[in-house]
Amino acid sequence: MSLPLEGLSAIVTGAGRGLGRVEALELARLGAAVVVNDYGQPGRDGSGEASAAPAEEVAAEIRAAGGTALAHTGDVADFQQAGALAELAVAEFGKLDILVNNAGILRDRMVFSMAEAEWDSVIRVHLKGHFNTIRFAAAHWRERSKAAGGPVYGRVVNTSSEAFLAGSAGQPNYAAAKGGIVGLTTSTALALAKYGVTANAICPRARTRMTEDVFAGLDRPEDGLDPLAPEHVAPLVGYLASPAADRINGQLLVVHGGMVAVVERPRVAAKFDSKQETFTYDELDALLTPHYAELPEGETFGAVEVLGLKRAWSGGA
């Protein structure tokens, strides 16, 4: 069997359950030594006592299959603990090559009902958590590149969501965090390319603890792999972490059920120029009002229809 990640080391956050778990298993199957990170709180809203069990169980599963893994149970949304996670990978494996960010929580509420703490907690875990681990991994790769006098190997795979693409009425905090992750990813891709590092983001659709409400009405098939199984997502993560994906950088990919869609960056749909020095209200009314009147009722984002996501989306990784 080919082991494209042999000799490489990886961190996977939120890897004690769901998507993170299968991603960690896939990286290990492809030959990587893996640090399995999970804070271990039982509630999908980040509630409950933290536990080492989820991360340790996945690390043990990898070792039982002949791979190399160790557990880390820190909170990646804490700057110091995220730094300790990166330090652990370097101390144990000599270097860090792959970072997969997956940790997240949900605290759903309509925007007019959301409490400040519900907003802050989701932004903290998703967006700040992604930044924290990237910050320390990026510093590691920059130092290695300077020492080597040239590019080194580095891969970042971040987890966004279709909630960012299609909107999600009851998840303003989650949708905003996932949109922020895309911006963080493209900025990271530009900043680290000269060091040999790529950064990409995925929007996975999978049946996990976080999406149990979303897919409640979609039964698992009696035979074969569930189209919404997290196992459909893991191969793309393994590929993006591999040398084969060295030309893929700053990209956003939707993945689920045997499908991968490459999302284009936003394009200009229409352009209007003022006939004088600057626009007047009447001129804008004459140009923009007819333009939007021609669009289908309720359409707000051109890419949504292409991806088959016209309905309001709720939930994600």
What single DSSP character describes residue 122? H
Q: Under DSSP, is residue 172 helix (H, G, I), strand (E, B) or coil?
A: helix
Say what the alpha-carbon torsion angle 79, 83, 86, 88 is, to the nearest 10 degrees.
-130
Predicted local distance difference test score (pLDDT) of residue 311: 34
Share of the chain above pLDDT 90, in %: 72
pLDDT, average across residues 253-277? 92
310 noted as active-site residue: no
Catalytic residue among 9, 121, 161, 314: 161
Retrieve residue 315's tokens: 């939930």
Retrieve residue 92's tokens: 């144990």
pLDDT, average across residues 280-304? 78
pLDDT single digits (tens) 195-229: 999 999 999 986 655 555 555 455 566 666 666 67
187 noted as active-site residue: no
Sheet containing 154-159: order of strands: 69-72, 33-37, 9-12, 98-100, 154-159, 197-204, 252-256, 259-263
161 noted as active-site residue: yes
Q: What is the DSSP string of 202-259?
A: EEE---SGGGTTTTTTSPPPSSS--TT-GGGTHHHHHHHTSGGGTT--S-EEEEETTE
Catalytic residue among 145, 153, 160, 178: 178
Catalytic residue among 39, 153, 174, 195: 174
pLDDT of residue 303 exceeding 60, the answer is no
